[in-house]
Amino acid sequence: MLKSCAPSRRRPLLDLSARMAVCDANYLRLRKLLPEFHAGASRVILFPGVGADGSGEHKLEMHVLESFRYTTTLDLQLLIEEAAPHWFKTPRLTVRLYHDAETAEVISYQDQRGFKAIYREDEAPRFTWDEKNQINLFLAEWLSLCLEGGLGYLCLPACLRPAGTPDEVPVILESGK
């Protein structure tokens, strides 16, 4: 029997421990950025201007959508000051945190849900084979950027603010290095 000389198109094996490590690290980063996970809590993280003249400020808004004993759901959206092209959609993620397992997973990206861990080759035009992992890695990079260079504004409840202070109090974020 003759063997085919065509190269095999095998995908790399699914490395579950590496994927879980990304989600676990995302949980820790989110705990640093948003220490309170009660429903309605929010945080705004500002990034300096990216334009040549210092314009073009970006903001990452984080909102707690729901909070329960073992899970919390967050909404993260990037807001851009300058006008963006009509085809550009700013990133928006919904992240579920599992407090008992201390892990965080992206459950929605750009309003699309239900990502599989691995996709078949016939689904390749729409998704890469490891789409879910790439979205969680994107969240990891985004959160790392927030910790390294963002200026955070923490929305404090009225009972914790000194009289006459604004709703949002600036907080310098430390990367923990």
Question: What's the confidence (pLDDT) of residue 155?
Answer: 56
117 with 15: CB under 8 angstroms? no
Range of the domain at 158: 16-172
Give the pLDDT confidence of 136-153 residue by residue, as tens digits: 998 999 898 888 876 665
| Residues recorded for the chain | 177
Flag residues of the chain having pLDDT under 50. Answer: 7, 119, 125, 172-177
Question: What's the confidence (pLDDT) of residue 78?
Answer: 87
Answering whether pTM is above 0.75, one says no
113 has which bridge partners?
108
In a domain, residue 146? The reply is yes
In a domain, residue 151? The reply is yes
Question: What's the confidence (pLDDT) of residue 177?
Answer: 43
In a domain, residue 45? The reply is yes
Q: How many domains does one find in the chain? A: 1
Question: What's the confidence (pLDDT) of residue 29?
Answer: 92
Instruction: Indicate the Cα dihedral angle 35, 37, 41, 43, nearest 10°.
Output: 40
C-alpha 112/C-alpha 168 separation (Å) is: 31
In a domain, residue 44? The reply is yes
C-alpha 59/C-alpha 54 separation (Å) is: 14
Question: What's the confidence (pLDDT) of residue 76?
Answer: 94
Question: What's the confidence (pLDDT) of residue 63?
Answer: 92
Question: What's the confidence (pLDDT) of residue 27?
Answer: 95
What is the three-class DSSP state of 36?
coil
In a domain, residue 163? The reply is yes
In a domain, residue 6? The reply is no
Which letter does DSSP use for residue 81 in this model?
A: S
In a domain, residue 8? The reply is no
Give per-residue burial for 17-39: e unless 16+ CB within 10 Å, then b: eebeebbebbbebbeebbeebee
42 with 62: CB under 8 angstroms? yes
